[in-house]
């Protein structure tokens, strides 16, 4: 039973991380219908930016996080304005932005190596261990869960209580109708790329603090964000949260019976099963 409780706690912690990645990726995908695979290297850029500010320059961690959020938002906005917007104006079919995003991913990944080097970068912070009965967790684990809760609540309030938030919801439901009723879809797209990318900086910093930043860490980030969105249901941020937690729990609890070396395959299995058994996801097009 102690092992089960520990695995359950680990699943909730990892689920918070995956759900946060799913929120950022899903906000962009559900609103613009762009499969933004360059979300991955933007996560990498955010992590290295935090390391540069708080590790190399020695400034407080909160300054590093703020810098990571700003850089991620600027890169996300720049990606849309310089690449995807041009494709939209030219009426490119859906496959073209997907291919373009893969090309942008390669460019940004190599740019990270040029600017920061290819080695793993770590940041030393106080990470004390806490116990709750038989379950143990670190301060960084607590930050992961708390950061998800704060961002999810803030994003929910923004979407429901602000004019641009309601415009995002309308565009998510029906982009064409949003244009017809006079919503500035260009401005909304810019906002979601900035906001979704800014959100990705937080889990990026958490990875930096736990495991260190590497030039290829973005692949895992965009993959888990994509899995959370598909499992939860395209068009539903609530579904992206549920998908992230489902994958985190299944991944962790699977270790109860499955050898550790197979843990990385569990998310693939969850994705394939969901595509085969319920391709619309858990909360497809549910109201967020």
Asked if residue 286 belongs to a domain, the reply is no
| Phi/psi-derived region of residue 135, left when phi > 0, alpha when psi is between -120 and 50, beta in every other case | beta
- β-partners of residue 130 are 137
Q: Name the residue range of residue 229's domain.
A: 2-277
Residue 257's pLDDT is 67
Radius of gyration of the chain from its Cα atoms, rounded to whole angstroms: 19
Please say if the pLDDT value at position 210 is more than 50.
Answer: yes
CA distance 57 to 35: 35
Asked if residue 216 belongs to a domain, the reply is yes
Residue 259's pLDDT is 65
Q: List pLDDT tens digits, range 223-266.
A: 999 989 988 887 788 889 998 998 898 888 876 766 666 666 77
CB 56 within 8 A of CB 47: no
* Confidence grade of residue 54 (pLDDT, cut at 50, 70, 90): very high
Residue 196's pLDDT is 96
Give me the number of domains the chain comprises: 1
CA distance 223 to 245: 15
**How many other C-beta atoms can be found within 10 angstroms of the C-beta atom of residue 143?**
18
Residue 176's pLDDT is 79
Residue 288's pLDDT is 40
Q: Give which of 222, 210, 276, 236 is closest to 50, Cα–Cα.
A: 210
Asked if residue 15 belongs to a domain, the reply is yes
Asked if residue 143 belongs to a domain, the reply is yes
Residue 261's pLDDT is 61
Asked if residue 288 belongs to a domain, the reply is no
Q: Give which of 197, 161, 256 is closest to 44, Cα–Cα.
A: 197
Asked if residue 282 belongs to a domain, the reply is no
- CATH number of the domain where residue 99 is located: 1.10.3470
CA distance 232 to 168: 19
Residue 180's pLDDT is 82
E strand residue ranges, the chain: 129-132, 135-138
Asked if residue 283 belongs to a domain, the reply is no
CA distance 278 to 44: 32
Give exposure, 163-180, as e/b (b: 16+ Cβ within 10 Å).
ebbebbbbbbeebeebee
| Sequence-separated (6 or more) residues with CB below 8 Å from residue 280 | 233
Average pLDDT score, the chain: 89
Per-residue pLDDT, averaged over 125-138, amounts to 87
Asked if residue 66 belongs to a domain, the reply is yes
CA distance 288 to 281: 14
Q: Give the length of the chain.
A: 288
* Confidence grade of residue 86 (pLDDT, cut at 50, 70, 90): very high
Per-residue pLDDT, averaged over 21-39, amounts to 93
* Confidence grade of residue 284 (pLDDT, cut at 50, 70, 90): low
């Amino acid at each position: 039973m102690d092992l089960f409780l520990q695995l359950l706690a680990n699943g909730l912690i990892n689920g918070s991380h995956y759900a946060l990645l799913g929120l950022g990726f899903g906000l962009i995908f559900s609103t613009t219908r762009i499969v933004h695979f360059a979300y991955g290297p933007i996560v990498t850029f955010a992590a290295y930016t935090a390391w540069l500010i708080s590790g190399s320059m020695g400034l407080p961690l909160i300054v590093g996080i703020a810098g990571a959020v700003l850089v991620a938002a600027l890169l996300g906005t720049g990606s849309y304005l310089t690449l995807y917007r041009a494709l939209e104006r030219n009426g490119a079919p859906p496959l073209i932005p997907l291919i373009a995003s893969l090309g942008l991913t390669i460019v940004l990944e190599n740019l990270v190596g040029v600017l920061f080097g290819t080695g793993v970068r770590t940041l030393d912070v106080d990470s004390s261990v806490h116990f709750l009965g038989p379950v143990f967790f670190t301060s960084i684990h607590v930050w992961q869960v708390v950061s998800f809760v704060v961002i999810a609540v803030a994003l929910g309030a923004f979407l429901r209580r602000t004019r641009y938030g309601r415009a995002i919801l309308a565009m998510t439901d029906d982009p064409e109708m949003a244009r017809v009723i006079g919503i500035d879809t260009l401005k909304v797209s810019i906002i979601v790329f900035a906001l979704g990318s800014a959100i990705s900086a937080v889990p990026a910093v958490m990875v930096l603090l736990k495991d260190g930043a590497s030039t290829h860490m973005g692949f895992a980030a965009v993959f888990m964000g994509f899995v959370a969105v598909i499992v939860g249901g395209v068009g539903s941020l609530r579904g992206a949260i549920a998908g992230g937690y489902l994958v985190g729990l299944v991944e962790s609890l699977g270790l109860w019976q499955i050898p550790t070396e197979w843990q990385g395959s569990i998310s693939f299995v969850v994705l394939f099963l969901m595509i085969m058994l319920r391709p619309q996801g858990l909360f497809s097009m549910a109201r967020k």
